[in-house]
Amino acid sequence: MQRRQFLKVGVASAAIGLGGASVMWLNQGKDTKLLNLNALLSILNKMSLLPPEQLASLSTGQWNTAQVFSHCAQSVEFSMTGFPQHKSAVFKHTVGTLAFAVFATKGAMSHSLSESIPAAPILDEHVDVNVALNRLIQSLGDFQQYEGELKPHFAYGALTKSEYELAHVLHFYNHQQTFT
């Protein structure tokens, strides 16, 4: 086989392999029936029935359960009121847009589970877990009822209401991975 033909076959094989692997990776997300606020609220309402000590002990990550709830509530609230600090416009129009597109396609998000929203108030590790959970539930309910202009996401940029809904759901599910 000639060198040029060998290289063509090698490159084509690699592209097909990477394409197939990418499709498989993108199809490993959540069940699409769970990718909406009603499904998430149902899960959160079930969590609210847990005894406080069991609820408080769910998170095995760097943040306790109340901090996770508070962090997710902050994100929902900021989508309506505005994020305190943003990535650059270049970042939002390139990396941010691409990241959200991948997460939306995959039906799952992956990000640092102990990184605060830039310039957001510090998460109180002593907040009552039920207070934090109720804050998250309330913020999601407020978001569902919200009819005003949504504020750009600090990393993804401008999102529609349905895109924000998906982002909020995927965000919580990503953090839920630290729950036992």
Contact 118, 84 (CB under 8 A): yes
The rounded percent of the chain whose pLDDT value lies above 70 is 83
DSSP character for 162? Answer: H
pLDDT digits (tens, 9 = 90+) for 84-108: 999 999 999 999 999 999 999 999 9
> pLDDT confidence of 18, banded at 50, 70, 90?
very low
- Residues 6 or more apart whose CB falls under 8 angstroms from that of 127 comprise 66, 67, 70
Buried b (16+ CB within 10 A) or exposed e, 45-79: eebeebeeeebbebbeeebbbbbbbbbbbbbbbbb
- Helix locations, the chain, DSSP H: 3-26, 37-47, 52-56, 65-81, 89-91, 97-106, 129-145, 161-176
pLDDT digits (tens, 9 = 90+) for 21-76: 333 334 455 678 899 999 999 999 999 999 999 999 999 999 999 999 999 999 99
- What's the pTM value of the predicted model, to 2 decimals? 0.84
Rounded to 5°, the CA angle 144-63-136 comes to 15
- What is the three-class DSSP state of 1? coil
Contact 161, 97 (CB under 8 A): no
Tokens of 177: 């991975």
